[in-house]
Structure 1
Amino acid sequence: MLNNLRFDKFEVIIVGAGPVGVLAANLLGMKGISVLLVDKNPEVLEIPRAISLDQDALRILQAVGLSEEAMKNMPLISCVEMISPIGGVLAKINSSGLVNGHPRLVSFYQPDLERLLRKGVERFESVCFLTDCLYLEHSQSDLGLSVKLKYNEVVKEFSASYLLACDGAHSSIRTNQGWSLQGSSYKEDWLIVDIDGFSESMEKVEFFCNPNRPIAHVPGPQGSQRWEFLLRNKETRNEMENPEKIAELMKPWSKALAGNLQRKAVYRFHAKTANCMGKGRVYLLGDAAHLTPPFAGQGLVSGFRDAFNISWKIAAILNKEASPKVLESYDIERRPHAKKMIRLAVFLGSIIMTRSKIAAILRDLLFKILLYSPLKSYLTDMRIKPLNNFNKGLFLKKERFRNTILYPGTTFPQASIKLENGTWDWSDSLLGSSLAIVGYGNDPMLVLNEESKTIWKRLGGVMIYLSDQRIKSVVEDCTCFGEDVTFFFQNIFGKKNRFVIVRPDRIIGAAFEAEQADEVIKKFSNLYV
């Protein structure tokens, strides 16, 4: 109960314990930040909602030490097909293989993921979690925040330095801040049907681009599958959720009729972004910040990226490693990227939801032409999906290499590495949750002068040395070596005596040669003060 809490002051209060809120609590707990996580629901909602994750989300789960456990119940999705009754298969998008050590696309059961994330929070004594607790209001000043919460009819105020709104599409915190969601809502509604009990697994997503009634068919975990049916004109919620109507719609998939109905619901999809994702001491994450149509499978993933982006920045401020101004980069970095993902989902939706037969014929013809053009890879290899890269933000854009993939504002890749004890791990385990200077072919400790080392220590940074030879390479307290490590990093760095600054969210902060090292460290530190 609230009146039995040991503290009435926390460094961060998170409202909303869905996957995004609990992920943020895990990330902050790893840095020793005192967190109060609250949710109005007494338990995890036992219904499937979000159903797919990509390699970015899985890499973030890896960062909090939960990816291995999570992947036990996340089957791979090998491809995404768009099928027309007129032109046949319009596109077959390959989603198999690994990117940065993780599958490109998996399905999952959201309640199971939420339980895993909540179990993860139990690892941190600095995190307090309250369910059946209602957010009422908040106020802020230069000195901090005051947040009113209600639990069992008891109202109490808590102090905090920062408030994270993970309270969903109808966010009360966003409303109290005077911010709003801007964008559009689809005029059409969709019936979503989740059924489990299948003995055979399904490894592909199918979009049936039929102008008579567009349908999406998505595999789920543990023998479950999802269907989404676009409502026609004058069809109502009550009519579509009727068991007889559902049985009629499911006839083409007769095996599904023998399964167990997990959920039936009519939804209207939205494509909206908050006009401000955060300022001062209050920040919006997940659905509170942006609403994404499901056609690109990026709704929850965008929320995960929000949490990964902002958590390390808040921790750096509270641990006296950075000034509050670094949080200005959260909106600058995340809002444009969230909009890109929304635009992708809207574009895919426009292809899938075409209701005009003439437009469908023209669409099919265009796709057939594209499949024989240089743009084919955008349809077949997921190149149409925007990378998690930024044009502006907390990095030194001018510091970059030519002829490599290592650009500030882009994601630093991950490789499999062999540790000194002979075991294999992923390179992110060396980066940890701190700023890192990664040197290829030269040890940062031998390149930086004493002033630069002092600056880097003040920022809480670590240094990592990757040898350009097939010999063991000392990496602070770890050692990595092996031919595949050398080959991988040789290819991405291009040549030795090159260095990058990698942020805790795996975004490259700067890229520089050995002779630039001290100058770059000073420039980068100026972003933090």
Structure 2
Amino acid sequence: MSNPIPFYDVVQIGYGPVSEVMALALARQGRKVAVFERWRERYPLPRAVCIDHELYRVLSALGMSKDLPAVSHEGPMYRWFNAEWKELLAIDWKSESISGGPEVNFVHQPTLEKMFEEQVQACANVEVNLGWEAVEATQTADYVELVVRDFETDERRTVRAKYLIGADGANSLVRQAIGSTQEDRGFEADWLVIDVLPNEGVTLDIPPAAQYCNPARPTTIVPAGIKDGRYYRRWEFMRLPHESREDLEHEHVAWELLSPWVRRDQAVIVRHKVYTFRSLLADTWRKGRMLIAGDAAHVMPPFMGQGMCAGLRDDWNLAWKLNLVLDGKASDSLLDTYQPERRPHVSDVIDLSMYLGKIICIPDAAKAAERDEAFFSGKAPPPPAFPRLTDGILRRDETGEVQAPAGLLSPHGAVRAGQRTGRFDDVVGLGFVLVLRNGASTTQLGARQKEFLEALDAKHVVIAAQGEKTPAAALIDVDDKFIPFMQEHGIDSMIVRPDFYLYGAVAGSGDLNELVDDLAADLERHGVSFESAAHFVTA
């Protein structure tokens, strides 16, 4: 008698940071997950070097808030200079963010991934299979089937799951299986990436974070994270038209390029390799029970440090939707909102990264001089604003347009509840949250709306400024994050989605029931309904 084919809630291909965090998010929901990764050992060298405030909040929500400070450090001012070291542009990565803490934190990716891996290993419901290559993915109306092979022995196995997530990189098998093509956004440049570990006691006289936009050799200088109390540094040098990739990959060439900044007796080279920076965006992110995330769905230039961040946003967006679907509280049409929400957002991030890339990737002196003049005269267009959500589960007006401030990332910071002070997510919990500026607004909620919020397991809290006369149960806005945000946008009440984006908001308590009804209607369109019982039924 043959062995039965193993069945999981979700199977994932790939075991990089995007897959690790996806597995952890699903495990926290109680899902049975299997991960298959071709390589037996984790890639030991850094690639990504930073996470922004939004993803710092996400990782904290997944249980890593105590560990993150040890594996990350605050980002510095990010400056762009011309060949004469005159500033063209500055991005303040250390400024206070809407999520609390700095806009950007730098990380040493292998150390960060080790933290992810330890979190996953503590989850008994996640099975990690290293050394198994995905060979073929197919699906039926009821399940997805994946064939994998042992990379060393060629042994084959078949597994099934309700859903398959391909976090399997730029050459994704799953992207091919769903028949997705890629849009090439037109950016392509070869850069030599060098990671350096300064010797003990060595302090390098270099900018904390900079783009040296010198046409003679466009150069990036940024932190590369912290490991065991020691700070790594990264240099990236653009390949010039007359050079070959092979020329740049010689170690003596790496030291020659580093020579203005660091000597051989001051540091060791941890890695030097030429990478091609590109801008690619998959056209289809889901087909039936198969989905893609991370580099399988999008590839971008690194100049905003958003490559890994974008993949982790994919995870967080998918996680709350899969939670409703796998619990039987929504039809899988809810997953149809994944691409409309994530693709335009990441497309805008690619545009922002390309905008910055086009500033530095100029090896021609005359064109660089034109660029410099445009910035110094104020004629250069400013960087695009960081994007918001523009489609999907967002409140709309009567014309069907997304109604501001829906789609904005919600504020986050420390709040006080009675004698307890902590991060909002820790004090309130995760999921849908109704945030009220006025305690009297709670009296406006109708019985049907209360029932819906209970069925959705939504929290509702009253937020108040410090020193303000408030109901005893109100949360005090210790970090002054919520009240200024709500005042700026004229908000009395707002609903925050599980991924921390605003579903919608209203200016007066009299509109509160309509706001809740709109969310109910939006979810009902994806198979969720609430009728009279305080639980969901699948429509």
* Fold match by TM threshold 0.5: yes
CA distance in 1, matches of 2:241, 2:468: 66
**Counterparts in 2 of 1:11 and 1:467: CA distance versus 1, 3 Å:** same
For the pair 1:309 / 2:317, whether they are aligned, the reply is: yes
Q: In the TM superposition, what is the alpha-carbon distance from 1:71 to its structure 2 partner?
A: 2.4
Q: In the TM superposition, what is the alpha-carbon distance from 1:14 to its structure 2 partner?
A: 1.3
CA distance in 1, matches of 2:286, 2:169: 15
Q: In the TM superposition, what is the alpha-carbon distance from 1:503 to its structure 2 partner?
A: 0.7
For the pair 1:434 / 2:442, whether they are aligned, the reply is: no
SS class of match (1:328): helix
Per the alignment, residue 238 of structure 1 pairs with 246
Q: In the TM superposition, what is the alpha-carbon distance from 1:508 to its structure 2 partner?
A: 0.8
Q: In the TM superposition, what is the alpha-carbon distance from 1:85 to its structure 2 partner?
A: 1.8
For the pair 1:116 / 2:119, whether they are aligned, the reply is: no
Per the alignment, residue 536 of structure 2 pairs with none
Q: In the TM superposition, what is the alpha-carbon distance from 1:339 to its structure 2 partner?
A: 0.9
- Amino acid of the structure 2 residue aligned with 1:491: P
CA distance in 2, matches of 1:189, 1:360: 18
SS class of match (1:393): coil
Q: In the TM superposition, what is the alpha-carbon distance from 1:321 to its structure 2 partner?
A: 2.6
SS class of match (1:465): strand
Per the alignment, residue 464 of structure 1 pairs with 461
CA distance in 1, matches of 2:178, 2:491: 48
CA distance in 2, matches of 1:256, 1:445: 66
C-alpha contact (below 8 Å) 2:293/2:314 kept by paired residues: yes
CA distance in 2, matches of 1:449, 1:409: 26
For the pair 1:200 / 2:227, whether they are aligned, the reply is: no
CA distance in 1, matches of 2:324, 2:48: 31
SS class of match (2:330): coil
For the pair 1:342 / 2:350, whether they are aligned, the reply is: yes
Q: Which residue of 459, 480, 504 corresponds with 1:510? A: 504
CA distance in 2, matches of 1:519, 1:347: 41
Report the more deviating stretch, 434-443 or 168-177. 434-443
C-alpha contact (below 8 Å) 2:10/2:165 kept by paired residues: yes
CA distance in 2, matches of 1:193, 1:27: 33
CA distance in 2, matches of 1:488, 1:105: 18
Q: Which residue of 16, 34, 37 corresponds with 1:36? A: 34
Q: TM-score, normalised by structure 2?
A: 0.87
In the comparison of the two structures, how many residue pairs are matched?
507
C-alpha contact (below 8 Å) 2:138/2:177 kept by paired residues: no
CA distance in 2, matches of 1:36, 1:473: 47
Per the alignment, residue 248 of structure 1 pairs with 256
C-alpha contact (below 8 Å) 2:192/2:237 kept by paired residues: yes
CA distance in 2, matches of 1:519, 1:90: 48
For the pair 1:527 / 2:489, whether they are aligned, the reply is: no
Q: In the TM superposition, what is the alpha-carbon distance from 1:140 to its structure 2 partner?
A: 1.5
Structure 2 residue runs of 5 or longer lacking an equivalent are: 528-539
* 1:84-483 paired onto structure 2 within 5 Å: 84-86=82-84, 88-99=86-97, 100-151=99-150, 152-184=153-185, 186-198=187-199, 199-200=202-203, 204-221=208-225, 222-255=230-263, 258-370=266-378, 378=382, 384=383, 386-398=385-397, 407-420=405-418, 422-442=419-439, 446-467=443-464, 470=468, 480-481=475-476
SS class of match (2:8): coil
**Counterparts in 2 of 1:520 and 1:419: CA distance versus 1, 3 Å:** closer
Q: In the TM superposition, what is the alpha-carbon distance from 1:43 to its structure 2 partner?
A: 2.1
Report the more deviating stretch, 146-155 or 493-502. 493-502
Q: Deviation per CA, 1:495-527: give whole Å up to 9, x if none.
A: 999221111100111213332333332321222
Q: In the TM superposition, what is the alpha-carbon distance from 1:391 to its structure 2 partner?
A: 1.6
- Amino acid of the structure 2 residue aligned with 1:465: V
CA distance in 1, matches of 2:179, 2:70: 42
Report the more deviating stretch, 493-502 or 139-148. 493-502
CA distance in 1, matches of 2:464, 2:106: 38
CA distance in 1, matches of 2:359, 2:89: 11
Q: In the TM superposition, what is the alpha-carbon distance from 1:142 to its structure 2 partner?
A: 2.0
Give identity over the alignment, percent. 25
Per the alignment, residue 490 of structure 1 pairs with 483
SS class of match (1:481): strand
Q: In the TM superposition, what is the alpha-carbon distance from 1:386 to its structure 2 partner?
A: 3.5
C-alpha contact (below 8 Å) 2:81/2:89 kept by paired residues: yes
Alignment root-mean-square deviation, CA: 2.7
**Counterparts in 2 of 1:60 and 1:215: CA distance versus 1, 3 Å:** same
CA distance in 1, matches of 2:491, 2:310: 35
SS class of match (1:337): helix
C-alpha contact (below 8 Å) 1:467/1:473 kept by paired residues: no
Per the alignment, residue 381 of structure 1 pairs with none
C-alpha contact (below 8 Å) 2:461/2:475 kept by paired residues: no
- Amino acid of the structure 1 residue aligned with 2:415: I
Q: Deviation per CA, 1:239-264: give whole Å up to 9, x if none.
A: 21112222221211233653121111
Q: In the TM superposition, what is the alpha-carbon distance from 1:474 to its structure 2 partner?
A: 6.1
CA distance in 1, matches of 2:407, 2:365: 43
